Every structure is written in structure tokens, then in C-alpha cells.
Structure 1
Amino acid sequence: MHFGRAAARLNLTQSPLSRQIQMLEQTLGVSLLERTTRAVRLTPAGRTFLTEAYRVIAAAESAARLTRRAARGESGTIRLGFTASSAYRALPRIVSLTRASLPEIDLVLEEMVSDEQIQALEENRIDVGILRPTAALLDPKTPLATNILAQEHLLLAVPRDHSLALGRAPSLADLDGEALVTWSPRGGRYFIDLLDDLFATAGIRPRVVQRVNQLHAMLALVGAGIGIAVVPDSARGISLSAVALRPLAAPEASRPQLLLAWRRDNANPCLPTFKAAIVSGDRSPDR
């Protein structure tokens, strides 16, 4: 409330400052200041304008700060696809890591089978996918890149009253002739091919009695006594009292992989930051 001191702070002389304030008042059509020979006071309109001026300055500074963070990939949105089985262990870890280390990045989640994620990535409908290896990823012309998130152990899921539910660790030979609940081609081609190769190498032939798309449905059928199932270690995230999960002795090469996939030419500035945080932070025992 002192023109001389205000002008000095602004590196102006008092006269230009007075003119600028008068021009502002003319533009607004109101008086902002009451001037006397001894004092200067804000009018009610002036107090309102001062409050709003501080708010505008704060908003401008916030916009600049957020813009710089967005350019550095520290804020924004990642559209993330995931398979149903990854929702039990991998997805919760990724969401927790993102919230802890990148709190200004929002995740938009969409459940899809692996083949659907491949198509969505190629069409730029999602930024990142959590998926199983597919034949499309082996194409040298694919625009997609991947990183291994996890390599899981195989488990044998059996009813609690089954002979393999207790005692020694089951082997592949124990599965010969057993009723098997397994994946349908639509959502589980990766596991179908992996298990077919595993069974052929071991020289065994389980009897497929039911095919389903989802892991939880498979375990529910096992609990109902329909058959047994070979499942990834992520099945431990589903608790069913009627089902026992036993480690299954199998070759190292048969361990199912879970991948993080993205387009190499994706221009989302959040993507490099997100990938770096997930790849460095995801250090599960099954990795």
C-alpha cells in the first residue's frame, strides 16, 4: 500500500506504475485502490481482484510445473493391457510400484487375452501389455519390443482328496492317463502349446476332459473333482479350499514366461519412465 516501495520492487519509477494501475482500472471498469494524500487502501473490488490474481499466478506456475513433468514423463497416462492370470500377482505389483514411484502417472487398465493385446498395441489403443509370448512376437517385422517380467514354475492342481495331493512331489509321469482340465484355444494357446510339447517330450498322454479360458474357472473345476490341471505359479493367488497346489518337476525350458510389451515407436513421454520403473522394480523370486 505504498506506491514508492511498490515501484522500487518492480524496478519502475512511480509515475509509470500509477499509469499502469489506472489503465487496469479503466479496463476493469472499477476502482481497485482508494488514494489519499496520506494512505492507499484496497477497495472491496481490489481485495477480490488481489485474491484472484494470486490464484491465477499459482495456476500459471502449476501449469508450467506440470508441463515440465509431463515432458519428462513423470506425469500423464499409461493405457495398460493385462491377462486375467497376471491380475493375481504381476498386475498388483506393477500398480503398487507405479503408485509408489510415479504417483502422477495414471493407469488405465483393460483386461485382454494376449492376442488381443498384440492387436491393441499395434493399433496404439494401449501403451503397454502384460502378456504371454505369442507367435506374432517372433515376427522380425513386428513393431513391438518386450521384456521378461517373470518366469513361473509349473504347479499341479489336484482335488484335496486326490492321491497326488499329499506325499512325494508329483512328476510328469504321474499325469499319464489322468483326466486333465486345461485351456481353450481362444485364451490359452500359449499354454496349450507349452503343455503339448512338455507331455510329448515326457511321453505321456493325459485325457483332456474340459477346456476353459480362465485360470480361476480351471481351479474351480479341479475343486469340483472334474480332473487335475497344470497351472502357472500365479495360481497361488487364488485360494480354493478344495484344491491342493503341488510343485511339479518339469524342465527349466518349460517355465511359462510373462512379458511386458510395447511399440518401439510409441511417443507417449510417460512410457520410458514407466518401463524403467517396472523393469528395475519388479524383482520377484520367479523372475
Structure 2
Amino acid sequence: MLTLDQIRAFVAVAEELHFGRAADRLRMTQPPLSRHIQKLERVVGVTLLERDNRRVVLTDAGRAFLDDARRMLTLVDTAGDRARRIASGAAGTVRLGFTAVSAISMLGALLRRLSEQLPEIDVILHERVTAGQVDGLLRGELDVGLARPPFDIATLDSRVVFREPLCAVVPLGHPLAGLGRPLVPDDFDGLPVISYNPVQSRYFHELTVHFLTNAHPRIEQQVHQILTAVLLVAAGRGVALAPASARSLGIDGVTFCELARGGGDPLESEENATGEPVELHVIWDRGSTNPALRRVLDLLPDLEAPPPSLMMP
């Protein structure tokens, strides 16, 4: 069987081309060094070194094997350090779930921060709606997610990382766009509204229902994704409510209108002092043993405000 002592012995002789100097370099005598080379050649099955009393010469096979032997020793020398870095969270892999709109408001800033401060952590991205992220965390398919509440607090931890306003999305030229003031629930009375699926998109479903509680709109369709809602508005199928960051989806044919603030929102966290009703959370399995996850989470508190390029007018 190939051993590290044999590999080190071969590299020393191949680089020195002299058994005496190689033995001195390895701080051993020549007889055991010669035995290491002989055993290595028997294991490999070819002659690696031609030697006589006057010289040592690498065979063609020996020159090829030397390259591989050096790589093996480098891997062995760095393996321990890499293992220690992974154990400390400085290196490793994090599987990150995100939604399309969370990618607009947060993902770019997070990935830039990770690239700058934790370059040895590989981030594998998975686009999933919140329910899919929760399922992925519970199944061990994801390490962390950027998602919307509520969550099962029995198994998952979460932290608010971004807050923003809820807006109305209306077709270009729609009468609501010309009112020149924040919209109130009564403005939607009798209008066709694109809402959200109460199971797959529970968070935005409940935000929409809460804002329109005292209005009497016509719910035309229920969709799973904010992008779909905005596209339907652009197609003239109704109006919708969406987070302000959805403006950056760049959908033509729609206008975003400010909504009037009024009362508290039951979906806001108790610590929400900004009054912005739409929250984005980072979520993770409380029982996770991935050290890299902790290092990623440590970067998130600085990202509570969006980068200047994402601030909405």
C-alpha cells in the first residue's frame, strides 16, 4: 500500500537526484530510504528511478509520478488547515434559499459581503418560495433562507434583515395613479384585485387582506409569486399590492403608488419601529451544525438597510 513516507522519500530523491543528500534532508539513513523507494516502485508497478553507484535519474514514469506526488503532499499539508477552517466556519458550503423579490432587496448585498469577508465559503443558491424554503430547511436541503413570515418557531430561528413599504401596483394611466395622494382602502372598492394564494403565499395574502379589510374589491385571481401579480397588472387584469422593491423587477406598463399608513399591522414584528409593514427574514434550522452558517449569520445585522442602489424613491 502506498504510504506518505514512501511519497516523501521519492520526492526527496527525485529532487536531490542523490540518495545521500535526500537522506540528510529527511533526517534518516540511506538503507530505510532505499527500502521506501523499492516498496513504492513495487506498489506502483513501474521503475521510477534509474540508479547506480554514480548517479540517479528519473524515468519518464518517474517524472510523471513526481508531479502527482508533489500534489499529494501539498494536499496532505493543506488538508489539516482546511479542516480547521471548515470547523471554524471560515470555509465550507452554505446552501441559500431565496425568493425572486428577496433577491432584489437583499441577495446581491449579501453575496458581495460574503465574497469580500468569507471568500472560502461556497454559496449554492436555490430559488424557492417561502414554503419551499421552510421544507428545504426541515429536510436538510438548505442551510439558510431569505423568506417571509410566519415560520414554525419550534424548529426554525429567524431574524428580520430588511423592511420596506407595501405599495399598490396599477396599470399605467389608471385613475388611482392620478389621485396624487397615498391610497386608502376605499380607493379599491369595486376594483379587480390580483391577490395571493393563502397557502403558498400566505404572507402577502394576509397583508393584502389586512389592508383591504374595509374595502369591497373583486378578487380576480390568486397567484403564488409577486412577479406574476405585477405581470398580470401590466396585462390589465387588475391591480395588486406588492413590496416597494418589486419596482426593480423592471416590468413595463405599471405604476407603483404609495399606500396610506393607518394603525398597526398584525404581521409586523413587535420590534418594528420603522412602521414599514413588509419584512424579509433570514431563517435557519435551530439544530444546524454547519459552522459556516454561523459566520454567514454574523454578517447579516449590518445589512438591515438596503444598499443605496436599491432605495426606492
TM-score (structure 1 length as normaliser): 0.82
Shift of 1:240: 2.2
1:223–1:242 CA contact under 8 A, matched in 2 = yes
- Helix, strand or coil: the match of 1:161? coil
Structure 1, residues 49-85: CA drift from partner, whole Å, max 9, x if none?
Answer: 4333212212323433432332222333222222343
Taking the aligned partners of 2:293 and 2:278, their CA distance within structure 1 comes to: 25
Give unpaired runs (5+ residues) of structure 1. none
Shift of 1:181: 1.9
1:97–1:278 CA contact under 8 A, matched in 2 = no
2:290 matched to 1:255?
no
Aligned-partner residue type, residue 153 of structure 1: P
2:57 matched to 1:41?
yes
User: Match of 2:120?
Assistant: 104
User: Match of 1:270?
Assistant: 292
2:207 matched to 1:194?
yes
Aligned-partner residue type, residue 117 of structure 2: S
Taking the aligned partners of 1:40 and 1:259, their CA distance within structure 2 comes to: 66
2:50–2:59 CA contact under 8 A, matched in 1 = yes
- Helix, strand or coil: the match of 2:216? coil
User: Match of 1:117?
Assistant: 133
2:233–2:240 CA contact under 8 A, matched in 1 = yes
Taking the aligned partners of 2:65 and 2:132, their CA distance within structure 1 comes to: 54
Structure 1, residues 213-249: CA drift from partner, whole Å, max 9, x if none?
Answer: 2212211222222322221112112112210112223
Shift of 1:148: 0.6
Taking the aligned partners of 2:99 and 2:86, their CA distance within structure 1 comes to: 28
Aligned counterpart for 1:221 among listed residues 203, 217, 232: 232
Pair 25,92 (structure 1): closer, same or farther in 2 beyond 3 Å: closer
Aligned-partner residue type, residue 107 of structure 2: L
Tell me which moved more, 269-278 or 104-113: 104-113
User: Match of 1:235?
Assistant: 246
- Helix, strand or coil: the match of 2:176? coil
- Helix, strand or coil: the match of 1:148? strand
2:181 matched to 1:184?
no
Shift of 1:5: 3.0
Tell me which moved more, 5-14 or 215-224: 5-14
TM-score (structure 2 length as normaliser): 0.76
Structure 1, residues 9-47: CA drift from partner, whole Å, max 9, x if none?
Answer: 22234455445445545665636142234x443344443
Aligned-partner residue type, residue 183 of structure 1: Y
Tell me which moved more, 84-93 or 125-134: 84-93
1:132–1:259 CA contact under 8 A, matched in 2 = yes
Taking the aligned partners of 2:58 and 2:96, their CA distance within structure 1 comes to: 53
Aligned counterpart for 2:162 among listed residues 131, 150, 173: 150
Taking the aligned partners of 2:221 and 2:255, their CA distance within structure 1 comes to: 19
1:194–1:254 CA contact under 8 A, matched in 2 = no
Superposition RMSD in Å: 2.9
1:149–1:279 CA contact under 8 A, matched in 2 = yes
Aligned counterpart for 2:221 among listed residues 206, 210, 216: 210
Aligned counterpart for 2:104 among listed residues 74, 80, 88: 88
Taking the aligned partners of 1:107 and 1:18, their CA distance within structure 2 comes to: 47
Aligned-partner residue type, residue 293 of structure 2: L
Taking the aligned partners of 1:49 and 1:82, their CA distance within structure 2 comes to: 46
